[in-house]
A = this chain, B = another copy of it.
């Protein structure tokens, strides 16, 4: 079934628009190699629809694309190109539902609080769609991410801007020094398959079962908790310190992906910052169903139903809060949208690199860039950002034209260290003890907890670790680059991992390789010291750092993580080729709607497709696939060289024009190759037609820009509208149709 098929995901926002323009071009090429490119819908809207067939009419129902791809990952021939998708927060999910309902899909509302079994069931179905729901299903392998040589070369020639760092910058990372997950973590490795129960023991001795788990032999299980009291005290101290030091305050969490724990953390920030407001109106807010975990926007929404005078009183009380608090970093200073408005706006792995790239500055309420206290409560990983900030203060901004690269080999397979660990994360409803108990009653780990504390467990199976070590050694050998395992010898979980790493390293010939184990801070410092001297260092990390570092370093090196090559060599033998992150995608769609200009850069897709085709060529013994891979890489190189990437400015070349150039260069490269003359001949007319019509096509594409575009939806745009918007060049469409008619 997967033979000679590339499964190309249809996702959300800008990437899904881009797909509509790119795929017709791509298929013109792949069909010549007998390769089918199939679209699989894993968009948030698609997942909502597929989750509620019972609420839809027959013809509204859609199949579950994610389930299909999930099954496919077990196929040794699986070849999936995965584009960035939404990790939905509750507000995003609600907006998506509302949009679908407005389009006539009678999907149910999301019950914030379930009042009965029916609502409970609906809530459970929706919960599976929240946050990072797609990746854990598809990532059936570890992660191999790197900056392709062509991109690195391009950046050295055309570097992105880097904000200046002042030695006197006041910016810093602030994090808890106790009471957080880091300080409470416990970890065990079970030798044999073991069933465990996660239990809460109340102060009256009553035991309630929270979760049962079946651990495999060699599996690591961690448990840890964050004290709500300590967290709230930390927020209060941190706000006071920012006020005193006269720096802006900003909060950096990952409420979208860490969908259970981080909205709670975010909610505490909201209720501490707006302490006076919540103290005064607590009862009313409870009645209204205000949920601070959804941000201050929840207050704004909830009070809309109140009488005007009451509403104005509350708005005044909100404003009064700002008097006693430091300035807050803004998401949109014009619209007055702060860092605490909704939990999905500021996402640590994107926001911290953006700040560091911008000379340590974020945007203030007055629209000016300012130094900030960047608050990341949980200390486990925050320390690396502080180390980088100190490094930039000392050595100045990184220089993209000379710096080395830090590729990543990340532990990820079988939900290893799936740190959201949603089904094993609990907010404590009372004081008591959380414990992990085996079936024979042995208590493996336990914590005394208080009401409000956030407790969680985390699993890491043995096979992924072994595969990860192998991948690290392979990458170090293949690229002749030192590798550092980022493992903290002071951290319970990492102590278990270090044992495994030392064990599995012995399975490999590491002679002549420089492979070290260092704490996160030691590792980032060494990597940076090497980087500024133009040297490369592979970061071999757990799952969270994989996520963070593959934004952090690419954003310094390349200006974006979207230009990274991201491969998941799957445990079962297949491959998934991911394309860049969609950090700023919402802004992109807005620009399309207002000015019909799509700034999204499909470079990630070009590179992923090339690796996808190359692997297809090797595994299916398809020489044409190999030629297409090679020529696609050449075309991408030429596109970069000639600066035919999308501009951010309306009126200039956008995503669609960039796709045209990729197609033209690709066709030219196929014609120019001599390995398969028949293939060259086959593409000659296409190359000719594209080359001849370049000006005309670019003119048509440019003419489309400047006026509003009607997509018919944000989460569930109408395909006919999208097609009209994304394929506006009649000439290009005709050229492609002619080529396809030939096949």
Contacts and interface: CB of A to CB of B under 8 A. Distances in A.
A169 B171 CA distance: 9
Contacts of A174: 167
Contacts of A393: 172, 390
A360 to B, nearest CB: 11
Given A390-B390, A393-B390, A394-B386, A373 B167 contact: yes
Contacts of A245: 166-168
A241 interface: yes
A356 B706 CA distance: 57
A170 interface: yes
Nearest to A245: B168
A371 interface: yes
State how many copies of this chain the complex holds. 2
A390 B388 CA distance: 11
A525 B247 CA distance: 27
A302 to B, nearest CB: 35
A245 B169 CA distance: 8
A390 B171 CA distance: 12
Interface in A152-175: 166-172, 174
A390 B390 CA distance: 6
Contact of A168 (B167, B371, B387): B371
A171 B169 CA distance: 9
A244 B168 CA distance: 10
Nearest to A170: B168
Contact of A169 (B166, B170, B387): B170
A247 B394 contact: no
A244 B166 CA distance: 10
Contacts of A371: 168
Nearest to A172: B167
A393 B371 CA distance: 15
A390 B392 CA distance: 11
Contacts of A172: 167-168, 393-394
Residue of A169, A170, A171, A241 with most partner-chain B CB within 10 A: A170
A393 B171 CA distance: 11
Contacts of A241: 166-168
A393 B387 CA distance: 11
A168 B170 CA distance: 4
Contacts of A373: 167-168
A529 to B, nearest CB: 9
A615 to B, nearest CB: 41
A238 to B, nearest CB: 9
Interface string A159-198: 0000000111111101000000000000000000000000
Nearest to A394: B386
A387 to B, nearest CB: 8
Nearest to A244: B166
A247 B169 CA distance: 10
Interface in A225-277: 241-242, 244-247
A246 B167 CA distance: 12
A380 to B, nearest CB: 15
A534 to B, nearest CB: 14
Contacts of A166: 241, 244-245
A241 B169 CA distance: 11
A182 B394 CA distance: 17
A394 B525 CA distance: 14
A180 to B, nearest CB: 16
Contacts of A386: 394
Contacts of A390: 390, 393-394
Residue of A167, A171, A241, A386 with most partner-chain B CB within 10 A: A167
Contacts of A387: 394
A244 B167 CA distance: 11
Contacts of A394: 172, 386-387, 390
B168 A247 contact: yes
A371 B373 CA distance: 17
A258 to B, nearest CB: 24
A306 to B, nearest CB: 39
A499 to B, nearest CB: 22
A242 B167 CA distance: 9
A172 B165 CA distance: 13
Nearest to A166: B245
A621 B604 CA distance: 81
A368 B548 CA distance: 42
Nearest to A383: B394
A244 B394 CA distance: 17
Interface in A363-386: 371, 373, 386
Contacts of A170: 168-170
Interface in A483-540: 525
A371 B169 CA distance: 11
Contacts of A246: 168
A329 to B, nearest CB: 14
Contacts of A244: 166
24 contacts: A166-B241, A166-B245, A167-B172, A167-B174, A167-B241, A167-B245, A167-B373, A168-B170, A168-B171, A168-B172, A168-B241, A168-B242, A168-B245, A168-B246, A168-B247, A168-B373, A170-B170, A172-B393, A172-B394, A386-B394, A387-B394, A390-B390, A390-B393, A525-B525
Given A167-B245, A390-B394, 15 more contacts: A166-B244, A167-B174, A168-B170, A168-B171, A168-B172, A168-B242, A168-B245, A168-B246, A168-B371, A169-B170, A172-B393, A386-B394, A387-B394, A390-B390, A390-B393
8 closest Cβ pairs, A-B complex: A168-B245, A390-B390, A168-B170, A167-B172, A168-B247, A386-B394, A166-B245, A170-B170
